[in-house]
Amino acid sequence: MAETKLKVLVFFVGTRGDVMPGVAICKALEDRGHQAAMAVCPGVEDSVRAYGVRCFVVGRVPFTWRNDKKVMSPEEVGILRRSMNAKEFLSVANKHGVSWNLEECLPEALAGCRDLVDQEDYDVILCNICTQVASHRLMKNRPNLKVIRTTFTFWNIATSAWAPGGYEMSGGYFAAELSSNGNIRVASACPCSCLSVRG
C-alpha cells in the first residue's frame, strides 16, 4: 500500500523561539516526501526562509511583547524580570495577564491562513500554543482539514545557540534556578517540558 503524501501548513505565531521549531518540522516532513510550508506573522519570515523552507507571511501586524513598564509598577517589573521566587513571580504574572499582542496580530493572521488553506488545499495544519484556537476555527467549514497542536519548550537543553542574553536569560535557566530553590519541579519529556509549582 502506497504511503499517503500530505500538504502540511505549519501555522506558528510567537517569538523566534516559538516559530523556529516549525522549520525542523517542515524539513523532516519534506524528507519523508510530504509538502510543507510555514505561515507566520511579519518579522520572522527571513529566519524561516534562510533554511530553505517555504514561508507565507499572514497578516500585517507582527507578534510583539507588551511594554510591561506601561502597566506595572517598577517593583512588579523587577519581580517579573528577576525574581527567582515562583510564588512572587506568578502573583505578578497572574495579576497582569499575558504580555503579548495576540489580540492584535492573530485575527489578520487567521484570515491569511484561512485563505492559504483554501488556495493551496492543505490537508493538515500544525499549530502552536498561540494559534491552536484559531486553527481549530478553520476546521469548521473544512471537514477534511486536520489540526495538530504542538508545544515546544526546550528548557533543560543547554546549547551554545542561546539568544544574545545567553543561557542566563533563558527560561531554562529560570526553571533550573527555581528547581534548585525547591520552588518548582521540572519534568522534562522532549520535546515538551512541564512545570508544576509547589506550595
Q: Where are the domains of the chain?
A: 7-64+100-149, 70-97, 153-199
- Pair 175, 155: CB distance under 8 Å: yes
* pLDDT given at position 91: 84
Residue 25: what residue type?
A: I
Q: What is the pTM of this model?
A: 0.67
Place of cell 530553505: 52
pLDDT of 174 higher than 60: no
Q: Answer with the residue of higher pLDDT: 176 or 108.
A: 108
pLDDT (tens digit, 9 = 90+) per residue, 92-105? Answer: 878 887 677 888 89
Instruction: Report how far residue 146's alpha carbon sits from residue 44's, in angstroms, rounded to the nearest whole number.
Output: 25
180 pLDDT tier (thresholds 50, 70, 90): low
pLDDT (tens digit, 9 = 90+) per residue, 103-112? Answer: 889 999 999 9
The C-alpha cell of 123 is what? Answer: 490537508
pLDDT (tens digit, 9 = 90+) per residue, 160-171? Answer: 444 444 444 445
* pLDDT given at position 184: 39
84 pLDDT tier (thresholds 50, 70, 90): confident
The C-alpha cell of 34 is what? Answer: 510530504
Dmax (CA) for the chain in angstroms is: 63
**Rounded average pLDDT over 180-194:** 38
Judged by DSSP in three states, 47 sits in: helix
Cβ atoms within 10 Å of 104's Cβ, excluding its own: 14
**Rounded average pLDDT over 173-198:** 40
User: What is the domain class of 7-64+100-149 according to CATH?
Assistant: alpha beta
pLDDT (tens digit, 9 = 90+) per residue, 116-148? Answer: 999 999 999 999 988 988 898 888 889 899 999
Residue 15 phi, psi dihedral angles, 5° rounding: -75, 175
**Rounded average pLDDT over 11-38:** 93
How far does Cα 129 stand from its chain's mean position? 6
Give how far Cα 33 sits from Cα of 3, 4, 38, Å: 9, 9, 16
Rg, the chain, Cα only: 19
Peptide bond between residue 21 and the one before it cis (omega within 30 degrees of 0)? no
Q: Answer with the residue of higher pLDDT: 85 or 63.
A: 63
For the chain, give the number of residues.
199
pLDDT (tens digit, 9 = 90+) per residue, 70-81? Answer: 888 999 988 877
